[in-house]
């Protein structure tokens, strides 16, 4: 019974968190991120203002509520890759799969959401910070599997290159989204561009190993 009660409480917490996030995102897109207050979000979600800040200590995280999944994506791809698969191959495979499914974590969040971020200096700065955190997590994952003979800087150097590539492709998806292109068209454009980018990375990283 205790375990069941804990499960119900956890489920209720997740429902409340999602409810708050949904109302916040709606208000941000309608009014703008900077113009929307925590009090307005609490009123719309019918919860106390303190409840909102308990679930989301930072206002930016109300809009970018999948930030933990975003920052962990690249490191997880490296850690979970198949035996014998290189980190680059795993990251290429994961990104192409994300494009095929129009994954929001890859940047397919829709024009209203993309515009909300582009028009908010605060959210734009937070997104840049999340890209940096994602690169740091990737560097740690690469360090965990780096050959002993590699120089100490190697994992960070590879993460910088790979992180920059993913940042570029994310921005490309956002750019096409803001231009009014539908997801299917964006995917059709970005897939071959991603192949080109990963081919460049492959040549560069291979040269670094020789």
Q: Give the model confidence (pLDDT) of 58-88 as tens digits.
A: 999 999 988 888 999 999 999 999 999 999 9
Helix (H) or strand (E) holding 180: none
The pair of structure tokens assigned to 87 is 């980190």
Identify which of 32, 33, 53, 26 has the alpha carbon closest to the alpha carbon of residue 42: 53
**pLDDT, mean of residues 152-173:** 96
Residue at token pair 């209203």: 112
b vs e for 40-65, b when ≥16 Cβ sit within 10 Å of the residue's Cβ?
A: ebbebbebeeeebeebbeebbbbbbb
How far apart, in whole angstroms, are the C-alpha atoms of residue 28 and residue 113? 9
Identify which of 120, 82, 93, 110 has the alpha carbon closest to the alpha carbon of residue 186: 110
Region 2-58: CATH code? 1.10.10.60
User: Is the pLDDT assigned to residue 33 strictly greater than 80?
Assistant: yes
Q: Taking the domains of the chain in order of start, what are their residue ranges?
A: 2-58, 67-209
Identify which of 87, 203, 190 has the alpha carbon closest to the alpha carbon of residue 144: 87
Which top CATH class is 67-209?
Answer: mainly alpha
Angle (CA) 38-177-64 rounded to 5° is 25
User: For the whole model, what pTM was predicted?
Assistant: 0.86
User: Is the pLDDT assigned to residue 210 strictly greater than 50?
Assistant: no
């Amino acid at each position: 019974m205790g375990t069941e009660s804990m499960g119900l409480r956890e489920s209720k917490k997740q429902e409340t968190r999602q409810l708050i996030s949904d109302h916040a995102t709606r208000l941000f897109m309608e009014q703008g991120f900077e113009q929307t207050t925590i009090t307005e979000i609490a009123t719309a979600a019918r919860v106390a203002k303190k409840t909102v800040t308990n679930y989301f200590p930072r206002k930016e995280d109300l809009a970018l509520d999948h930030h933990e999944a975003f920052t962990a994506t690249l490191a997880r791809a490296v850690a979970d890759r198949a035996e014998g698969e290189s980190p680059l191959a795993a990251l290429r495979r994961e990104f192409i799969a994300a494009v095929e499914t129009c994954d929001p974590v890859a940047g397919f969040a829709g024009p209203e959401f993309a515009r909300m971020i582009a028009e908010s200096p605060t959210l734009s700065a937070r997104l840049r910070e999340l890209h940096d955190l994602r690169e740091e997590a990737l560097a740690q994952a690469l360090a965990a599997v780096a050959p002993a003979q590699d120089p100490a800087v190697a994992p960070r150097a590879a993460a910088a290159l790979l992180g920059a590539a993913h940042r570029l492709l994310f921005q490309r998806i956002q750019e096409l989204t803001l231009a009014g292109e539908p997801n299917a068209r964006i995917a059709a454009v970005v897939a071959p561009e991603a192949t080109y980018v990963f081919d460049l990375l492959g040549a560069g990283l291979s040269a670094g190993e020789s």
